[in-house]
Amino acid sequence: MAEVIQSLPLEDVIGDRFGRYSKYIIQERALPDVRDGLKPVQRRILYSMYSSGNTYDKNFRKSAKTVGDVIGNLHPHGDSSVYDAMVRLSQDWKLRHLLVEMHGNNGSIDNDPPAAMRYTEAKLSQLSEQLLRDLNKETVDFVPNYDDTQMEPMVLPARLPNLLINGSTGISAGYATDIPPHNLAEVITATLKLIDNPDMTVKQLMKYVKGPDFPTGGIIQGIDGIQKAYETGKGKVIVRAKTETETLRNGRSQIVVTEIPYEVNKGNLVKKIDELRADKKVEGIIEVRDETDRSGLRIAIELKKDVNASAILNYLFKNTDLQVAYNFNMVAISDGRPKLMGIKQIIDCYLSHQIEVVSRRTKFDLKHAEDRMHIVEGLMKALSILDEVIALIRESKNKRDAKDNLVVTYDFTEAQAEAIVMLQLYRLTNTDIVALQEEHDALANKIAGLQHILNDHQALLNVIKTELEEIKKQFKDARLSTIEAEIAEIKIDKEVLVPSELVMLSVTHEGYMKRTSLRSYNASGKEEIGLKANDYVIKCLEVNTQDTALVFTNKGRYLSIPVHKIPDIKWKDLGQHISQIASIDEDEIIINYDVVSKFDDQAAIMTVTRNGMIKMTTLSHYKTARHLKPLVAMKIKDDDVVINAVKVDVTKPEQLVTLLSYKGMSLTYPISELPTTGIRTGGVKAINLKAEDYVVMADIVSESDTILIATQRGALKRIGFNVLQVAKRAQRGITLLKELKKQPHRIVAARVCDVSTTQYHLISDEDVYIGQINKIHLSEQYTNGSFVVDTTTFGEVKNLYVSE
């Protein structure tokens, strides 16, 4: 051979070769034909089994023999790829209606491999006969196989719409397909309706085809997604497992899964659920068991006592393959090209194929009937002149001479002459003459009927309809998957994710925060809390790990921190600084915190600033998914800071808020005076302040409370509720301190004390003085209280806090 070397750019060569390869794998490997719903390898497997007589009414045959026939005659690829395709045609969790019956281990829904092909046996299923029916009547085109030694069909006659019934999945170059299986009776009914009314809309078709019908059952949610897919070829639905809850003898309950989504690996699903249990990502599951046996699929998820089964199930739907999204991508080969098609286009293409198949079959039957009619007419003519025919044959030299003499003498055709000379002697009886006449009449009727089918399109459609109805009657079965119109919203309760546990939550003035188990708290004693020097606890509460802590800062911001995310630290240890839990500014100070279990409008946060602004915002405004990040709680001016944020009960408008100012002014009024506003507002005026005065305390007060007041000169004053005078918001209020011309007392801090409060802590820059509150006598309105510390040695008082 002459050597031809071409000089071509690499990109042209690569592009050309890959283009050819892509065309091959799109048309000849990965995508199904819209007419019979089969990929080439599947078609070759079925055809090979059919042509070798390995049909449903015969005995099973070794799979290795079939695979060998397919590879040797039709499909020159690896034996494993052919065997895998053959096995898939026999798996009842992959195909809605099996095309191959198999004896032996053909894999499992856990994705276990099948037994080797030398061990398994297979034959065509009864339904496959309907795909291959009339194949020998020239109904489809045949093409040479890969080595031109025999012919193979380009497509099967497919007397049922297999593409929709069994679906298909595949990936090729630039194209992929995902067509779900459907119910045979529904698809055939829709096809029959479309024959009668070709102008039907997809919505009308959906009266008959409700949606996919997966062999594994399950619940399909999202009828809008189904309609979109049927109209355009693309759409999305949610497929979730079918479950029920059982009660066990020991009082516990268990979730039982009886159907799982299509194409989900059961073994991996069970493993994933058990990993969530072992890693404690979901609370309440004791054990996960795969109880699947010959009676059907069954996964048991045993739960702890008093656990909300539906909450656990919702979490599993969200985080495992108990619920998956199925994306329609209905691509199939039509007219030699890949096309994205809706359900009506698929059925139309199938009907066009059936019209061609039935037309070609009818022509084939007509030709054979006419040929037989010709022979019968010749035999009848010969029998009518039997003696002359016998005499002519006896005088002939041989068979060839006898045939020629019959053709020349009596105008018989070559075919008729062949039939006459091959006639057996017993056929010369009177009985056979009658039988020939009956056959002639039957053939005449058959030919007339076949010609009517070819000449009348409606008659041809009626043949298709009749045969489809017969298939539907023979193979129909009940729907396995349930259709639900709407996609259910999954709400995951906190109790599923976080164990319900009571803990102590403490926050200190300098910003150290910790949660402590009740065991550690009770073992150490409340007085032995770990603190830095001169630091003190702002608030300590017994809370639930499922609650959320709202931590407020002096800059009008708040942090939403789930309690379970706060570090678990022993009571004797220091705790973690808030800056290590959330990102706050260096000069930002925690002023208070509260814990919320339910964000609703029954409670609100009352926020007060140093310059006398106040606002009340219901808890629902504080709900956020942005945990551990500072969010605005109150809009404040640059020269202002928030001094307190208190949770109040909105359902009790008679509650009283009391404010104290630096210069000793006191104002008390009901919270009903406060309008409820949004979270990013600045609020309204709380108190009418004098020049150079500012608010030092704002809190809720009740009749059983007293207020402890500290002045910069080391004096403490305790007043009862009776000293307060209820007034209106934004007034000046009453004077609590006696005004002195020299060294006047100024309030630096004040605290509302309930009956459980026993100790007070006076704080200067260098020292802390601890005393008993009940030793401070109640004072009248115009007194400055009694001196507790000597500021010459203790230092000027800066702060005051109280504790139990």
Model confidence over 679-702: pLDDT tens digits?
Answer: 889 999 999 999 889 999 999 999
802, β-bridge pairs: 760
Do 298 and 368 fall into the same domain? no
Distance of CA 405 to the CA centre of its chain: 82
Question: Which residue reads 């059936």 in tokens?
Answer: 354
Do 56 and 134 fall into the same domain? yes
Whole-angstrom distance between the N-terminal and C-terminal Cα of the chain? 106
CA-based nearest residue to 36, from 300, 467, 353:
353
* Confidence band for 573, pLDDT divided at 50, 70 and 90: confident
Residue type, 505: L
Specify the pLDDT at position 224.
93
Is residue 495 scored above 80 in pLDDT?
no
CA-to-CA separations, 487 to 84, 85, 131, 490, 616, in angstroms, rounded: 35, 34, 36, 9, 38
Do 50 and 120 fall into the same domain? yes
Q: Which two tokens stand for residue 16?
A: 């050309």
Specify the pLDDT at position 430.
66
> Does residue 765 form part of some domain?
no
Q: What is the dihedral of CA 194, 196, 199, 203, to 10 degrees?
A: -50
> Does residue 555 form part of some domain?
no
Residues 6+ apart with CB under 8 A from 448: none
Show which of 157, 176, 197 is a domain's final residue: 157
10 Å CB burial of residue 739 (0-12, 13-18, 19+) is: exposed
Do 364 and 314 fall into the same domain? no
Do 401 and 296 fall into the same domain? no
Alpha-carbon gap, residue 776 to 302, rounded angstroms: 60
Do 42 and 151 fall into the same domain? yes
State the average pLDDT over residues 308-318: 89
Is residue 526 scored above 80 in pLDDT?
no
Q: Is residue 119 among the annotated active site residues?
A: yes
Is residue 104 scored above 70 in pLDDT?
yes
Specify the pLDDT at position 804.
67
Residue type, 129: E
Do 59 and 137 fall into the same domain? yes
> Does residue 317 form part of some domain?
yes
Q: What is the pLDDT of residues 45-65, one digit of tens each?
A: 999 999 999 999 999 999 999
Most confident option among 188-192, 248-252, 720-724: 188-192
> Does residue 166 form part of some domain?
no
Residues 6+ apart with CB under 8 A from 294: none
Q: Which helix (H) or strand (E) holds 132?
A: helix 126-132
Which of 232-236, 375-379, 673-677, 799-803 has the weakest average pLDDT? Answer: 799-803
Most confident option among 64-78, 397-411, 569-583, 751-765: 64-78
Show which of 140, 157, 174 is a domain's final residue: 157
CA-to-CA separations, 9 to 3, 20, 21, 47, 715, in angstroms, rounded: 19, 17, 19, 43, 96
Show which of 430, 452, 474 is a domain's final residue: 452
- Average pLDDT of every residue of the chain: 90
State the average pLDDT over residues 328-354: 94
CA-based nearest residue to 576, from 630, 504, 513, 510:
513
State the average pLDDT over residues 173-196: 93
Do 391 and 446 fall into the same domain? yes
The model's pTM is: 0.73
Specify the pLDDT at position 271.
94
Query: Could you tell me the CATH number of the domain that includes residue 70?
Result: 3.90.199.10
> Does residue 758 form part of some domain?
no
Is 558 within 8 Å of 541 (Cβ atoms)? no
* Confidence band for 528, pLDDT divided at 50, 70 and 90: confident
Q: Which two tokens stand for residue 395?
A: 């005088």
Query: Could you tell me the CATH number of the domain that includes residue 420?
Result: 1.10.268.10
> Does residue 683 form part of some domain?
no
Do 289 and 396 fall into the same domain? no
Order of strands, edge to edge, in the sheet holding 219-221? 168-171, 176-179, 323-329, 234-240, 219-221, 482-484
Query: Could you tell me the CATH number of the domain that includes residue 262?
Result: 3.30.1360.40
Do 149 and 76 fall into the same domain? yes
Tell me the percentage of the chain whose pLDDT exceeds 70: 99
- The whole domain housing 56 covers 38-157
Q: Which two tokens stand for residue 123?
A: 């034959």
Specify the pLDDT at position 651.
87
SS3 695: strand
CA-based nearest residue to 752, from 700, 804, 711, 798:
700
Residue type, 360: R
Alpha-carbon gap, residue 585 to 581, rounded angstroms: 13
Specify the pLDDT at position 456.
93
Q: Which helix (H) or strand (E) holds 591?
A: strand 590-596
Is 679 within 8 Å of 632 (Cβ atoms)? yes
Tell me the percentage of the chain whose pLDDT exceeds 90: 60
461: region left, alpha or beta (phi > 0 left; psi from -120 to 50 alpha)? alpha
Specify the pLDDT at position 496.
66
Do 77 and 142 fall into the same domain? yes
Specify the pLDDT at position 365.
94
Q: Which two tokens stand for residue 228?
A: 């979109």
10 Å CB burial of residue 274 (0-12, 13-18, 19+) is: middle
* Confidence band for 298, pLDDT divided at 50, 70 and 90: very high
> Does residue 495 form part of some domain?
no
Do 317 and 361 fall into the same domain? no
State the average pLDDT over residues 398-422: 89
SS3 235: strand
The residue among 28 and 499 whose pLDDT is bigger is 28
Domain count along the chain: 3
Write down the catalytic residue from 119, 146, 230, 782.
119
Specify the pLDDT at position 587.
85
> Does residue 761 form part of some domain?
no
